[in-house]
Amino acid sequence: MSRTYDLDRAHVFHSWSAQATLDPMVVERAEGTRVWDDQGHGYLDFSSQLVFTNIGHQHPRVVKAIQAQAAKLCTIAPQHANDARSEAAHLIAGLAPEGLERVFFTNGGAEAVEHAVRMARLHTGRIKVLSRYRSYHGGTNVAVNVTGDPRRWASDYGSAGTVHFFGPFLYRSEFDATTEEEECERALRHLRRTVELEGPQTVAAIVLETIPGTAGIMPPPPGYLAGVRELCDEHGIVMVLDEVMAGFGRTGSWLALDAHDVTPDLVTFAKGVNSGYVPLGGVIVGERIYDTFAQRVYPGGLTYSGHPLACAAAVATIETMRDERIVDNAARVGREVIGPGLAELKERHACVGDVRGLGVFWAVELVSDRETKAPLAPYGGSSPAMNEVVAACKKGGLLPFANFNRIHVVPPCTITDDEAREGLAILDAALSVGDAHVEG
Ligand code: PMP
């Protein structure tokens, strides 16, 4: 193959993979919504990699800001103040609801969840953390235990005090609900019972993705998050909203929570904050939790917390998204092109069981039988049928984000109407491959 490929296979130990069966694509370059391999094949990136290049690849303004910061000051320890970090914290806090004014920086999403949970436990003096099944919160110790995704099973040795509950998901309702209202009401009742039976005085936090992403892009019904807020208030429980994937334009608003009229105590973020050009994440901290650590030491930190290169990238990303109205673009393309386009694909393809989402954050759920909703690959596993659909996407020149029986349509927020149509046409052809596996 190539030196890059050979060295990768000889020395790189990859995430989430059986090492010997891996056949990674060698990426030569990327720009905007497109990626090219070393054979000269171009791909439309409908995955935003791992749903993080919200501003697209190689945005010149962000690249320039990183270069300028590198020329000025590459790094400085977290105990000092630094202009890139101060400006980034100011801009990020400015996007959060009023009352969340401080930013604790990390290098990514899992670390953000680790620290949000630690803050909640220290603030409340309680240990338990409740989170939903069908969720993803990261691959480190507490984060992987809080995660409600089958991939955690392999590395979950149990972390004291993590408890899971069912969240609202009408398509596969755990509550036999037939309407969003019923699903919302029953899911809230179930969560209330879970808190009561666990003992409210033992529950430090409820951690929720505002819209669960990796586990299936399941927008909560209206009123659900407000109901969780009410329950948290009743019992002094810290409400953590994880915006690592859903934040920074993905849903067509700056934060996904903007659409829900709810103020959490802590917000975790990463990915889209600077489109992953330099690793960055963090926790936006509400005043009540901040006050706990105003005089008392917060016992946690990271060597590279608020890294100047990452923060300079965040400042440039947020300013560029604002100046170029990129969040509005995500909302509009979702509403006018991707949403209607996927609805039409559902009409025409028997293997499509459900389509849901908003902005540039959509899931296409593939089934072998629409009536029974039997998934085309089992939850937590793979199948030849799904592998064929994904291979057809790639063959057609599309990089999809595939997870179990789902294809997620999660392109950069900068995607144009024409690019969206081009990707949907490739997906259309790939879904015909899926149709061949539909029973009957
Ligand atoms: N939370 C959510 C909602 C995520 O989607 C992810 C990553 N997919 C994480 C946390 C973990 O982030 P990271 O991989 O940067 O640690």
Structure tokens at 312: 């300079």
Q: Which of these three, 323, 353, 382, is where a domain ends? A: 323
| Domain CATH for 27 | 3.90.1150.10
- 35 in a structural domain: yes
CA of 56 to the centre of ligand 1 (A): 18
CB atoms within 10 A of CB 192: 18
Prediction ipTM score: 0.99
362 with 424, same domain? yes
278 with 331, same domain? no
| Domain CATH for 291 | 3.40.640.10
What is d(CA 310, CA 306) in angstroms, rounded to the nearest whole number?
A: 7
Work out which ligand 1 atom sits closest to the CA atom of 50: 8
What is d(CA 268, CA 227) in angstroms, rounded to the nearest whole number?
A: 20
Domain coverage including residue 53: 3-58+325-435
Q: Which of these three, 291, 323, 355, is where a domain ends? A: 323
66 with 126, same domain? yes
What is d(CA 250, CA 358) in angstroms, rounded to the nearest whole number?
A: 8
Looking at residue 156, what is its pLDDT?
Answer: 60
Q: For the chain, list residues with pLDDT below 70.
A: 154-158, 440
299 with 414, same domain? no
Q: For a pocket test of ligand 1, which of 271, 278, 304 has the largest count of ligand atoms closer than 8 A to its C-beta? A: 271
Structure tokens at 266: 């802590």
Q: Which of these three, 275, 299, 323, is where a domain ends? A: 323
For every residue of 60-101, which 3-state class applies, written as one string?
HHHHHHHHHHHHHCCCCCCCCCCHHHHHHHHHHHHHCCCCEE
Work out which ligand 1 atom sits closest to the CA atom of 246: 3
CA of 141 to the centre of ligand 1 (A): 13
pTM: 0.98
CB of 331 within 8 A of CB of 253?
Answer: yes
DSSP H helical segments within 369-408, as ranges?
Answer: 384-395
- 440 in a structural domain: no
Inter-CA distances, 276 with 55, 371, 377, Å? 10, 40, 30
200 with 216, same domain? yes
Percent of the chain whose pLDDT exceeds 90: 95
Q: How far is CA 237 from the centre of its chain?
A: 23
156 with 172, same domain? yes
Work out which ligand 1 atom sits closest to the CA atom of 113: 10
